[in-house]
Chains A and B, each alone.
Chain A
Amino acid sequence: MRRVTVLLCTCGSTLLEKIDFNKVSKELYKNPLVKKIEIVDGLCKANTVKSLSLDANERIIAAACSSRLLEAVLKNLSNAKVIEFVNIREQCAWVCDDKEDASSKTIRLLNGSINRAVRSNPPQYSDGLKIVREAMVIGGGIAGVRCALDIANAGYRVYLIEKEPSIGGIMAQLDKTFPTLDCSICIEGPLLSEAGRNKNITIIPNSEVVGVKGRVGDFRVLVKVNPTYVDPEKCNGCGECANVCPVYQPNKYDVDLKPVKAIYCPFAQAVPLKYVINKEYCIECGLCMSVCTRAAINLEDKPKMLELNVGAIVVAVGSDLFDPRLKPEYHYGEYDNVITNMEFERIICASGPTGGVLLRKDGKPAKRVAFIQCVGSRESGPGIGECSYYCCAASMKEARLILEHDKDAKVFIFYNELRAFGKGWEDLLYRRCLEDGIVFIRSRPSEIKRSPNGNLIVVYEDTLTGKRSELEVDMVVLALGFKPSENLAKLAATLGVSVDDQGFIEEAHSKAKPLETRVRGIYVAGTCHGPRDIVESAVEGSAAAALVISLFRSGNVKLPETAVVLESKCTGCGRCMPVCQYDAIVRDGEKVRVLESLCNGCGACISSCPQEAIVLGDWGIEQLALQISGMLGD
């Protein structure tokens, strides 16, 4: 028979007056499962533990203080394996007035644990699982690039997966950043080229993740690389091809406002600086092939599949902006001079379609401009319910840009609540806006009308005065809220991570684990888990990099105890599947299987199985039943 050793701790003799240790010891010796009982005065002291000379194979029950305190201490002091902790201090001595009561409760709790301990397996401290010390970052916006750089600088290889021909994301499209009004691409450009130069970073543009297998430390990711019809190895970015290309197409980078050739490079600071062909517009005339001195163009290019083996994945795919067509009252797409804030950024940018002059479609300069805030955010309509975080500051920045370009312009901002909470936002943005004479109107305009001369009339009710009015302007800029990008749900399903009710990626815990997802080894950064600005996205990129690096440095990965299906017993009835909150149980032929990278060891499944065909460590019915009968026995 397996027998146990009980260590009774008197907590530096302080428990002696609360618990009758002699009685406890005498009673426990009546239990035939007890091999020996040691009464010690401090299990948390190195000397005490050493003097016990515990054997590594002994099955030990430690009856002392809260396991919250003791477990970590004991692990460092001794290699003996404690299989049960019984808290006789906080749960017996300190909560009972009567010594008799405390002693008898101690005896009962210990008898239960002794019964349980003989049937449980000693804890297995596994040597840890294999870790592939290479990471994948999905998405090359500011969060992804910052993250890739930080991981790479720590000495680990990073695969940076980008769906567009160039990394950069939304930040690359912006003219200036708030609150300081400094040039956006001048800040991001050096980071992009640093990422391009870094030997540890492999940028894979035009690609998407289509499949993931494995677990933390050892993911196998299937990446589909879409054809660009230009061999990136051979292309040196000379641009001769674009000079001869006869076809124009709208450039996505310029929000379709400024045409480029069908063979193109999205922007001057693109990384990698390679030309690509948009096959939707290419007429396959072959002119580009005739001028390319390096024979880089291959019109027969096919998609390629890569399988990458990485230890950690950071999702930084960003978000899309709300589609203003879903708010018909603003007539976006119908009235020429209603534009989005992204379009505004390109128009006001010196490298943009108008060379930085704020012109309307009819070529007239825009002198009176209105901004409408919260389009597609903070609403129950087609947008998201949350605040989109960046737009108050962005619109104030854009308003100031207008005045920088044209002192005589008049700018109005229709806001709901003006949220200027970031560092420098109050001083550098809000105060200066007021000083510059920008008019803030608290209202969510109900409609935009068009006057015969092409001007726009904003219909609104000022919610501070309750007065209804109309305002004639040359141009209206809609401050669009974030929305989860179109393919985010699919990507989330591929990765096995969950999405929240808005459709953004859900964190493992919003406060304690803000950058982890429910899949261990998959982290999240940037706007794909909710609206944020550039600063916070960059912060999260670095923070996610720290998590990846700490995983790689930790030496081994310890998974929590996970549930295991006993194949011989499982009938495949599936009663365990709906109770699993982590979607960790999947069908496998006629039976079910637990995905260990998703399982959190809560045990909801094992208690829903009518015949214990799923087990989780020592938490079976048998052990619990024995513990209870030990406790309740007389």
Chain B
Amino acid sequence: MVAWKPKIIAFTCWCSSSGVDQAGFEGFKYPANVLTVRVPCSAIVNPSIVVKALEEGADAVLLTACKPVELRKIAPSRITEARVSLLRRLLKTVGVEEERVRILWISSNEGGVFANEVSRIVEETERLGPLNLRGRMLEQP
């Protein structure tokens, strides 16, 4: 039997997706089960989409965004941060581990940070085990 590997969806904003590319340039290695979706800005990610990703079988969802300090006053990633916090509260309430949704600050040159953080998150998700929402929703009482 093939060992279970978590599936992780990472929404990467335009800038931090450069950071993700940077990880490749610099030769960092990280697990292959992180699938990136490039979006113009992290604030475009609707919390509903994150829920949908969990429903579709993702074991964790990651949002990478620009550091608010780099953006000064105009910081859409602060919105993402608040939405993630709200969503984590919701997930916790309904009995899904809140660690399955996270936000990471990744600048366009932080390939190494991305690779390290993602490896850690994959490990932690492995410890949490599969989310298996489909199975849990289908199981008979």
Q: Residues of A at under 8 Å CB distance from B?
A: 66-68, 87, 89-98, 101-102, 104-105, 108-109, 112, 498, 500, 506, 510, 518, 561, 579, 581-582, 601-604, 606-607, 616, 619, 621, 624-625, 627-629, 631-632
In the bound assembly, the distance between CA atoms of A101 and B43 in angstroms comes to 30
Query: Please, which residue of chain A has its CB at the minimum distance from the CB of B23?
Result: A95
For chain B, residues 26 to 44, give those with C-beta under 8 angstroms from any C-beta of chain A.
27-33, 35-41, 43-44
Cβ contact within 8 Å between B24 and A94: yes
In the bound assembly, the distance between CA atoms of A581 and B44 in angstroms comes to 13
Query: Please, which residue of chain A has its CB at the minimum distance from the CB of B115?
Result: A95
- The 10 lowest CB-CB distance pairs between A and B, nearest first, are A90-B24, A603-B44, A101-B32, A604-B43, A607-B46, A94-B24, A602-B41, A66-B21, A90-B21, A105-B32
Q: Which of B71-79, B91-99, B120-128 contacts A (4 or more CB under 8 A)?
A: B71-79
Which residue of the partner chain, among A93, A108, A579, A603, contacts B35 with CB atoms under 8 Å? A108
A89 with B24, Cβ < 8 A, contacts A619-B39, A627-B37 known: yes
Q: How far is the CB of A293 from chain B (nearest CB, A)?
A: 57
Given A91-B21, A607-B47, A628-B9, 4 more A-B residue pairs with CB atoms under 8 Å apart are A87-B21, A90-B20, A105-B33, A581-B73
Cβ contact within 8 Å between B44 and A112: no
Query: Size class of B's contact patch?
Result: 35 or more
Q: How far is the CB of A284 from chain B (nearest CB, A)?
A: 50
Q: Residues of B at under 8 Å CB distance from A?
A: 7, 9, 18, 20-25, 27-33, 35-41, 43-49, 52-53, 56-58, 72-76, 79, 83, 115
Cβ contact within 8 Å between B72 and A105: no
Query: Please, which residue of chain B has its CB at the minimum distance from the CB of A100?
Result: B32
Q: How far is the CB of A104 from chain B (nearest CB, A)?
A: 7
Cβ contact within 8 Å between A607 and B36: no
Cβ contact within 8 Å between A581 and B74: yes
In the bound assembly, the distance between CA atoms of A514 and B75 in angstroms comes to 18
Which residue of the partner chain, among B24, B48, B57, contacts A95 with CB atoms under 8 Å? B24
Cβ contact within 8 Å between A628 and B49: yes
- Most B-side CB within 10 Å, residue of A66, A87, A91: A91
Instruction: Chain B residues near A604: list those with CB within 8 A.
Output: 41, 43-44, 76, 79
In the bound assembly, the distance between CA atoms of A579 and B80 in angstroms comes to 10
Query: Please, which residue of chain A has its CB at the minimum distance from the CB of B27?
Result: A94
Query: Please, which residue of chain B has its CB at the minimum distance from the CB of A624?
Result: B49
Cβ contact within 8 Å between B44 and A616: yes
Query: Please, which residue of chain B has its CB at the minimum distance from the CB of A627?
Result: B37
Instruction: Chain B residues near A500: list those with CB within 8 A.
Output: 73
In the bound assembly, the distance between CA atoms of A168 and B17 in angstroms comes to 48
A518 with B74, Cβ < 8 A, contacts A66-B21, A90-B23, A95-B23 known: yes
Instruction: Chain B residues near A108: list those with CB within 8 A.
Output: 35
Query: Please, which residue of chain B has its CB at the minimum distance from the CB of A506?
Result: B73
In the bound assembly, the distance between CA atoms of A601 and B20 in angstroms comes to 22
Cβ contact within 8 Å between A606 and B58: no
In the bound assembly, the distance between CA atoms of A506 and B30 in angstroms comes to 40
Cβ contact within 8 Å between A621 and B76: no
Q: How far is the CB of B77 from chain A (nearest CB, A)?
A: 9
Instruction: Chain B residues near A629: list those with CB within 8 A.
Output: 56
Query: Please, which residue of chain B has its CB at the minimum distance from the CB of A103?
Result: B32
Instruction: Chain A residues near B73: list those with CB within 8 A.
Output: 498, 500, 506, 581
A602 with B43, Cβ < 8 A, contacts A498-B73, A632-B7 known: yes
